[in-house]
Structure 1
């Protein structure tokens, strides 16, 4: 269909379509404000402070104006009402699915905790020792102190059926966690207290379930490819892998 001089400019839309958009934006504004309030009220101090500082409360939208009943393209004194309907089929917006803002706040708090945790794998574990967490914390606090690294504040074992339950170390901030992780990888092949452990502990950040699945797949691929190449052709990099610029014999 071609346009004619009698057609209104394309930047104008039917009032009903504009009102649908207005109602949708108003609903989304309300949801954002509810989510912000739920996070701030959730009791997670760090998360609440971060959200309160970075996400301002959105003001309510001004009341929608009434539609123009006079044709803006006709004469100024024209009294012919403007048809606010349109020949274009009306698109009915899908209903907004209700969300549980408290659940979202809880999930956000979990992610914030993960961002400040290190997971130590293959660390010797005595399930019958009620003081295992205290021993682990003391070991890594001493390790951190001797290498001028941020020290963990808490330690606990993740309950599972693995021979060595994953050890989770909690830090004050994600920066402290990152510095500790970098330092651990730097000293793991030279620090005697780590080298003396037969199971060869390794460290990583605390991962979400999708990230953990990616990590497992990457480790499997690296192992299989290195075994075929008989050298450390690939090495792990966080949860993925990369080519090793200095491969060594792979046994």
Structure 2
């Protein structure tokens, strides 16, 4: 399915088949790559060098542009309907919701990149927690990606932000489940000394989330807020030096 966008670029709707750039790049890999290389980064490099297809894969920046153009073509009103935070009640005093709202535009414009840590108790009594790339979460909602967070409902007070297995990290000790997944903006790093960390894809700055003071502490501003509905939420705001 092809066409031409108002920007003069041919429309490529195939990019909408993937949740993120990593999935797009890995789609060019082969069964043998997965079997023998055993490393997704190696597969990614081989694909980007053009050894797996006659078509040169998009760069990450071009991929994002293609996604935005395709979405604008099929769902123009959804993309220009304003910010999710606009749905927050003018009388709301919830510190967590106000925290989300104050960061939304800054993240979407790549001025800052925010990771949020949140937790909740599920109906079976298990405590679920995780780290979430807020910019990716908002964009996934716009794209209506599989199992996206309904941010309209979050700001309207009908739902709360809950970690899911595809987020940066997901932990459910009751079922012995811990998962880590790279996002559009961050790579998961397990440091031998400082534990779990995240590296921003654009400027390669390391974000430490353990609360301890170290040489990476200055790369993100850590702030904790509390509300009766959301409990404690920790924001890690990283000022972006180079756009992804």
TM-score grouping bracket, smaller chain normalisation: under 0.3
Which protein is richer in strand relative to its size? 2
Question: TM (normalized to structure 1)?
Answer: 0.22
